[in-house]
Structure 1
Amino acid sequence: MTSAHFTFLILGIATLLLSACQSTTSRHSNTPLLVGPSEPISNTTAPSKYKKLQNAEIFLDVAVPTFSPGFPLLKNSTEIDYEELDDSGIWPQLRRTEAKLFAVETKNALEETKAFGAVRVVPNANTTADIFVLGKILNSDSEQVGMQLTVVDSTGEVLGIKSFEHEVSESYFRDQRNKDKNPYQPLFDKGRDYVLELLSKLDTETKQKIKETALLRYARYYSPEAYGSYLSTEIKKKQGQRYYKFELTGLPAEDDAMLARIEDLRAQELLFVDRLQDQYDTFYAETSDAYEQWQRETLPEIAARREAIRNRNIKAGVGVGLAILAGILASESSKDSRDADRTGSGTERAKAGAKGAGAVIAGLGSIYAVNDAFQSNSELKVQNAIIEEKGQAVDLSVSSTEMKFEDQVIELQGTATEQYLQWKQHLRKIYELEATPDVQL
């Protein structure tokens, strides 16, 4: 197309648009010009989908243990299958970091609904709570992300198990409106809505039993001889998972002094868990920028790797196809040559020559395509190396904690799990000292 043709085309389009605008104006000449929203502003607010839980009589406390990183394991073992780990492109330290980050994101999403009591991130499920949201990372490569949530109440009942996925657009980080936003947020929103859906089905009586069971299971931890009889257990199964179901067989007296003291210790344990939230928030704040940078830099590399795989497969496929074609043409050329020798036909000789030349060309083309596929495979290795380098950049851990209790300062060290265990052991020691005051423990 010449420049004159191009100019003529632009003028024609402009004329059509102008006439359309004039037509629209004439049809709506009596309609006032709208500035701002095209719909009238309403003073009414749509009812919240969380309203039922927000106005509930009983609010359930939720524990979100650090997610399972989802490492592949050796068959019939708890050991990591590092060969499959490498094949899957999983970097252990990055995935362990994500296990904490995903738990914090899930906690934040649930907490913002104001439909629960306390929502806490905990090192593992060995804690006291009414509801447990157990997460497992299925996939995370900055473009494709997936997780599985298992929601369990204090009675051991598995309320539901569901997997969620989300794909981040290649252009996500190019849009300035997405600045300071989490590209994975839709995933956590889906998980939040699922948990709310499950809990909205629980009536007040069921919630009360969940809370009572949580307290008595905690009391049984301190004194199984005194409170074990209030709970019965049975093994149940849901979606292929076996679990213990606890049923209340009774309740202690309201003025049970031992239970009151255990409730005090439980409050102290939860005080540590609340303090631990500061650790997780600090961890999140320190890690999120580095993690976002990893996402931002890795996302185009993931797309490039996918394109490299596609190109390699296409070229390899073309190479194989040309090799097959070369074989067919060579076979037919030989047949035509034999026919030409037998009949002396010039036409048969010409056909044989053409097919022979085609076989040579196809053979050369197959070699080129396969070599090009190998080159694409080398480019793929480069993309993998870049992603791995980015993945190894995130490596943070939880710091130590100091707790004050009854004029004592308790220093807790190690990982969050180790610190939590130390605090639980300290509280149990206090209970045992009070239960047997005349014995030196």
Structure 2
Amino acid sequence: MKKPYYHTLFLLIFCLAMSACESTSRNPGEPLLVGPTNPEANERTKSRYNKLQNAEVFLDVAIPTFSPGFPMVKNTDEIDYEEMDDDGIWPQLRRTEAKLFAMETKNSLEKTKAFSSVRVVPNANTTADIFVLGKILASDSEQVGMKLTVVDSTGEILGSKDFEHEVSENFFRDQRNKDKNPYQPMFDQGRDFVLQLLSKLDKEEKQKIKNTALVRYARYYSPEAYSSYLSTDIKKKFGQRFYKFELNGMPAQDDVMLERIEDLRAQELLFIDRLQDQYDTFYAETRDAYSDWQRETLPEIIARREATRDRNVKAGLGVGLAILAGILASESSSDSNSGKTASSGAKGAGAVIAGIGSMVAVQNAFESNSEMKVQSAIIQEKGQAIDIAVSTTEMKFEDQVVELQGTASEQYLQWKQHLRKIYELEATPDLQL
């Protein structure tokens, strides 16, 4: 009796091919629901808004420029450019996105009117009550992802979560989406996550966070005078180690040195407020260019994904056909030895056809890969035009005008150093600095 191996194998290959195609399709929609819906979810979000808006203690939020999420060489601080190229990451574009994503997060939080202030800052080495640390996990016009970690001034990690969103290929075809950010759902999720965490804090906890922020800032200027008010330990949470600061007490309300430090703190925050103008200008000048990049590259990204899918399916078929060729050849040899010459000829021909089919399928897969390289080059070319420049800033304090130059981070450091120099000069008036 003939063994129908090839029938079973053909069926298996067909099923594998169909499952490969289906694996890249979108998940089915939500169950059908008609009639009035339960507004519970919206009410929960509103209650968080109201709780924070009606709070007695309002917090200052700092959002450092996001980490661009570059792949790194293991156990080093060096960027793995080969892996970055494989992932299709254009460095300058991703660095620009790091600033844009911070701005989008700021805008989403600011609209809630639930905070004393929400500022984008060059890095986390600044004074604030709450820090929203972001990292870009993915961004290619279609797939976008970020990680948010919320930390308070005591060093406590309040929460950490990943967010992702997939942009529909029809998003830019709908006129109603004009001037809308296709990534906005992700930033809305991030906003609600931050609100959820902070709405759990009571008045006493918020005041402790604000007091800790002030004392840590005072210790920066005068560690000998204010270190005793803080205890420091190393903790671990969400898989991350962090410095935890415990407030042991507060300086007297009439502490002259602390009052002077608060004046300097106000000047530092003034610079950060001025810096917001720079970020706003960058956002206004870059947003349209970035939106054009999203609109123009989205079809290319989808084409590349589909090419990847086709390549994997064709490669799978090629391997399957090659296996089938081997089985048929083996059966042909076996049948021939038992005297079944007529069927051996047919099966031998089947082996040759299957072998040719496998080679063609594999060749098509490599051709598809070449097409993807061309599409990747187009995407990278569009990313080259986006950059940011920070203009020179002039700051005035107590009849002294300081001109700050360089990047936002460099200018911020220059201003902090100038304020510290003023404090040291006042603390040691006889010393020539």
Would you say same fold, with TM above 0.5?
A: yes
One-letter amino acid matched to 1:59:
F
Instruction: Tell me the residue number matched to 1:305.
Output: 304
Instruction: Tell me the residue number matched to 1:424.
Output: 416
SS at match of 1:386: helix
SS at match of 1:433: helix
Compare 385-394 and 111-120 and name the one that shifted more. Answer: 385-394
> Quick one: distance in 2 between partners of 1:381 and 1:234?
50
Instruction: Tell me the residue number matched to 1:237.
Output: 236
Aligned counterpart in structure 1 of residue 350 of structure 2, from 337, 358, 372: 358
> Quick one: distance in 1 between partners of 2:338 and 2:236?
74
Q: How does 1:211-222 map to 2 (within 5 A)?
A: 211-222=210-221
One-letter amino acid matched to 1:48:
K
One-letter amino acid matched to 1:195:
V
One-letter amino acid matched to 1:319:
G
Q: How does 1:13-92 map to 2 (within 5 A)?
A: 48-49=46-47, 50-92=49-91
One-letter amino acid matched to 1:225:
E
Per-residue CA deviation, residues 406-433 of structure 1 (Å, 9 max, x unaligned), is 2222110001110000000111111111
Per-residue CA deviation, residues 255-278 of structure 1 (Å, 9 max, x unaligned), is 111111110000000000000000
SS at match of 1:124: coil
Instruction: Tell me the residue number matched to 1:128.
Output: 127
SS at match of 1:74: coil
Instruction: Tell me the residue number matched to 1:14.
Output: none
> Quick one: distance in 2 between partners of 1:328 and 1:382?
38
Instruction: Tell me the residue number matched to 1:253.
Output: 252
Per-residue CA deviation, residues 329-349 of structure 1 (Å, 9 max, x unaligned), is 122222222222xxxxxxx22
> Quick one: distance in 1 between partners of 2:228 and 2:333?
91
SS at match of 2:46: coil
Deviation at 1:280? 0.3
Instruction: Tell me the residue number matched to 1:175.
Output: 174
Instruction: Tell me the residue number matched to 2:368.
Output: 376
Q: How does 1:300-339 map to 2 (within 5 A)?
A: 300-339=299-338
Aligned counterpart in structure 1 of residue 389 of structure 2, from 370, 375, 397: 397
Q: Comparing both chains, which one has the higher relative contact order based on Cα–Cα distances under 8 Å and sequence gaps of 6 or more?
A: 2
TM-score (norm 2): 0.88
Instruction: Tell me the residue number matched to 2:106.
Output: 107
> Quick one: distance in 2 between partners of 1:277 and 1:102?
14
Q: How does 1:132-281 map to 2 (within 5 A)?
A: 132-281=131-280
Deviation at 1:305? 0.4
Identity of matched residues, %:
80
> Quick one: distance in 2 between partners of 1:401 and 1:424?
14
Compare 125-134 and 408-417 and name the one that shifted more. Answer: 408-417
Deviation at 1:279? 0.3
Structure 1 gap ranges (5+): 1-37, 40-44, 341-347
> Quick one: distance in 1 between partners of 2:330 and 2:235?
67
> Quick one: distance in 2 between partners of 1:368 and 1:236?
58
Instruction: Tell me the residue number matched to 1:411.
Output: 403
Instruction: Tell me the residue number matched to 1:118.
Output: 117
TM-score (norm 1): 0.87
One-letter amino acid matched to 1:72:
P
One-letter amino acid matched to 1:432:
E
Structure 2 gap ranges (5+): 1-34, 37-41
> Quick one: distance in 2 between partners of 1:230 and 1:374?
66
> Quick one: distance in 2 between partners of 1:232 and 1:318?
64
Instruction: Tell me the residue number matched to 2:291.
Output: 292
Residues 313 and 408 from structure 1, CA distance in 2 versus in 1: closer, same or farther, beyond 3 angstroms? Answer: same
Deviation at 1:405? 1.7
SS at match of 1:277: helix
Deviation at 1:200? 0.5
Q: Of the two, which has the highest radius of gyration?
A: 1
Compare 376-385 and 219-228 and name the one that shifted more. Answer: 376-385
SS at match of 1:280: helix
> Quick one: distance in 2 between partners of 1:372 and 1:230?
70
